[in-house]
Amino acid sequence: MIALMIETLVKFAVVVGGLMTAAAYLVLLERWIAAWVQDRRGPNRVGVPLTNIKLFGLGQPLADGVKFIFKADVTPRHVDRVLYWLAPAVVMAAALCAFAVIPFGSVLPDFLPADWGVEEPIRLTVVPALDVAVLFVFAVGGAAVFGVLLGGWASNNKYSFLGSLRSSAQLISYELPLGLGILGVAAAAGSLHFNEIIARQADSGWWNIFVQPLGFVVFIVAAFAEASRLPFDLSEAEQELVGGYHTEYSGVKLMMLLVGEYLHMITAAFLIVIFFLGGWHFWGLTDGVDSPGGDVVAWPAALARVAVLMAKVLLVILFFMLTRWSWPRFRYDQLMNLAWKVMLPWGVLNIVVVAAAIEFAGRWAAAWGISPAAATALAGWVALALAVVLTAWADPTTADNRPLRIPPALRGSSDET
* Same domain, residue pair 46 and 150: no
* Same domain, residue pair 15 and 96: no
* Same domain, residue pair 141 and 180: yes
Among 18, 41, 70, which residue terminates a domain?
70
Q: How many helices, marked H, and strands, marked E, lie in the chain? A: 15, 2
* Same domain, residue pair 58 and 85: no
* Same domain, residue pair 116 and 35: no
Would residue 362 count as lying in a domain?
A: no
* Same domain, residue pair 303 and 339: yes
Identify the pLDDT of residue 268: 93
Helix, strand, coil percent values for the chain (each to nearest 5): 70, 0, 30
Mean pLDDT over the full length of the chain: 84
Model confidence, pTM: 0.88
Would residue 371 count as lying in a domain?
A: no
Triad 209, 211, 213: Cα angle to 5°? 50
Of 159-163, 237-241, 299-303, the least confident: 237-241
365-379 pLDDT per residue, tens:
888 888 888 888 999
Would residue 236 count as lying in a domain?
A: yes
* Same domain, residue pair 104 and 231: yes
Q: Would you place residue 7 in the very low, low, confident or very high pLDDT band (cuts 50, 70, 90)?
A: confident
Would residue 141 count as lying in a domain?
A: yes
Would residue 213 count as lying in a domain?
A: yes
* Same domain, residue pair 64 and 117: no
* Same domain, residue pair 99 and 198: yes
Pairwise CA distance, residues 311 & 263, whole Å = 17
CB distance 121 to 107 below 8 Å: yes
171-184 pLDDT per residue, tens:
888 999 999 999 99
Would residue 210 count as lying in a domain?
A: yes
Domain count, the chain: 2
* Same domain, residue pair 20 and 150: no
* Same domain, residue pair 176 and 50: no
79-104 pLDDT per residue, tens:
888 999 999 999 999 899 999 899 98
Q: Which domain holds residue 61?
A: 1-70
